[in-house]
Amino acid sequence: MATNVAGRRYRTWYAMLLRLYPRPFRERFGEGMAQTFHDLCREHRDARRGLRGLALWIFFETSVGIIRENTTHMPQLVKTMLRVALGALAVLMVPLVASQVVEGWNWDAGGFVFVYVLFFGTGMVYAVIARKMGAWSYKAGVAVALVTGFGLGWSNMVHVADSENPANLVYYSVLAVGGVGAWLARLEARGLARTLFAMAATLALIAVMLPSGAPPYLARNMAIGHGVFVALFTASGLLFRHASLERLK
Amino acid sequence: MKQVQADSQGRAKMGPGTLYGSMGRMMEAGLIRESDKRVDPEMDDERRIYYELTRAGRAALEAELKRYRGVVAVAEGRLAHGH
């Protein structure tokens, strides 16, 4: 008697689970799947075996099928968004875990949401731009440029917040050069190479011209930081240059 | 599902999610279709739906079997020569 009640309950849940399949799939196979589940439950019950293990296994196995069927029929852009969203979530784990162990790191929920949006936005920009060309050097150039741009924007945001010196906002001009350059270049490798070299030059100019007012030990660290960013922007430019030369071959 | 379990001596277990998903993909690819033939009238249930291989499905199956035989032949050749 108890097994009957459990069987009915599992069949109701299974019918609800089947509703998660895409409509065409559900209309074609939904009834057959529900019937198959019903038959399996009946056979298990007749053999006086428990239903819980069977139900758990079939619910899991069907859930995997539901994910597969839904992603198969998704447009490519939605699949890309899903991948980027999951990737951004994985990267978000770094500050999330770090905030638990590093003293003084106390972002509120809004801070994490903001950072997640930044990760997701950067990832989507990479996915959309990198799809334009199959060359590895182009994809690598996009990745290096975005990570470096993200790092520069991030460190500058933190620095401005800490020092409350609005002069540091001038660093955003480097990102503005990148945005305008990418737009003018229509994302072509040759134009992007020039854009990245221009970004490196702008940053080097700012580093030389802007008085930091920092003590000598800090000034040295800042110089190294500027040097790393300039080198990365230059490396990205070289990768785009390589991609543009490959296209000419 | 029972056939898969029996053929594999219980090593492979297939659930409805895998079975109907595979059938959906095979139907989309034109490898199988619904059939009105009734295999066993004694056991028949009017709700039961039968499927059969299409000509393209049979050709795909034969091509796949040929590929498997080729792989097995290579492996057996290697074993025979002690490589």
- Cross-strand bridge partners of residue B34: B51
CB nearest A32 (choices: B15, B27, B49): B49
Q: How confident is the model at residue B43 (pLDDT cuts 50, 70, 90)?
A: low
Residue A168 has pLDDT above 90, yes or no: no
Say whether A66 and B1 touch across the interface (CB within 8 A). no
Residue A224's Cβ-count burial label (10 Å; 0-12, 13-18, 19+) is exposed
Residue A1 has pLDDT above 60, yes or no: no
- Mean pLDDT over B47-71 rounds to 92
Taking the Cβ of residue A41 and every Cβ of chain B, the question of whether any pair is shorter than 8 Å is answered with no
Residue A76 has pLDDT above 90, yes or no: no
Say whether B47 and A31 touch across the interface (CB within 8 A). yes
Taking the Cβ of residue A151 and every Cβ of chain B, the question of whether any pair is shorter than 8 Å is answered with no
Q: Please, what is the Cα angle at A122 between A120 and A126, to 5 degrees?
A: 115
- Mean pLDDT over B63-77 rounds to 95
- Cross-strand bridge partners of residue B51: B34
- Mean pLDDT over A140-167 rounds to 81
Cβ–Cβ < 8 Å for B63, B56: no
How many Å lie between the alpha carbon of B2 and the closest alpha carbon of chain A? 10
Among A152-166, A197-211, B8-22, B64-78, the range of highest mean pLDDT: B64-78
Phi-psi sector, A9: left (phi>0), alpha (psi -120 to 50), beta: alpha
Among A10-24, A87-101, B40-54, the range of highest mean pLDDT: A10-24
Q: Which amino acid is at A28?
A: R
Say whether A65 and B49 touch across the interface (CB within 8 A). no
pTM as predicted: 0.51
Structure tokens at A52: 């819980």
How many Å lie between the alpha carbon of B54 and the closest alpha carbon of chain A? 18
Cβ–Cβ < 8 Å for A100, B53: no
Q: Which amino acid is at A10?
A: Y
Predicted local confidence at residue B44, as pLDDT: 58
- Cross-strand bridge partners of residue B52: B33
Q: Please, what is the Cα angle at A150 between A145 and A156, to 5 degrees?
A: 125
How crowded is residue A115: how many other Cβ atoms within 10 Å of its Cβ? 18
Q: B53 φ, ψ to 5°?
A: -70, 140
Predicted local confidence at residue A163, as pLDDT: 67
C-alpha torsion sign, points A42, A46, A47, A53: positive
Q: CA A215, CA A222: separation in Å to the nearest integer?
A: 10
Q: Which residue of A has its CA nearest to B22?
A: A65
pLDDT digit string (tens) for A79-133?
788 888 989 999 888 888 888 877 777 777 887 888 888 889 888 888 888 776 7
What does DSSP say about strands B32-35 and B50-53: parallel, antiparallel, or unpaired?
antiparallel
Q: In chain A, where are the structural domains located?
A: 2-72, 75-131, 134-249
Predicted local confidence at residue A211, as pLDDT: 65
**Element holding B6 (H helix, E strand):** helix B2-7
How crowded is residue A177: how many other Cβ atoms within 10 Å of its Cβ? 19
Residue A51's Cβ-count burial label (10 Å; 0-12, 13-18, 19+) is buried
Helix (H, G, I), strand (E, B) or coil at B15: coil
CB nearest B47 (choices: A29, A35, A66): A35
Q: How confident is the model at residue A228 (pLDDT cuts 50, 70, 90)?
A: very high
Q: Which amino acid is at A25?
A: F
Say whether B18 and A33 touch across the interface (CB within 8 A). no
Contacts B32 to A, Cβ<8 Å: none
How many Å lie between the alpha carbon of A33 and the closest alpha carbon of chain B? 6
Contacts A64 to B, Cβ<8 Å: 17-18
Within 13 Å and on the Cβ side, how many CA atoms surround A43?
9
Q: CA A70, CA A21: separation in Å to the nearest integer?
A: 7
Q: Which residue of A has its CA nearest to B34?
A: A28
How many Å lie between the alpha carbon of A23 and the closest alpha carbon of chain B? 13
Predicted local confidence at residue A236, as pLDDT: 95
Taking the Cβ of residue B1 and every Cβ of chain A, the question of whether any pair is shorter than 8 Å is answered with yes
CB nearest A58 (choices: B15, B21, B49): B15
Q: CA B4, CA A28: separation in Å to the nearest integer?
A: 22
Taking the Cβ of residue A61 and every Cβ of chain B, the question of whether any pair is shorter than 8 Å is answered with yes
Contacts A62 to B, Cβ<8 Å: 15-17
- Contacts for A150 with CB less than 8 Å, ≥ 6 apart: A118, A122
Percentage of residues of chain A with pLDDT beyond 70: 91
Nearest to A234 by CA among A191, A198, A208, A182: A198
Say whether B17 and A61 touch across the interface (CB within 8 A). yes
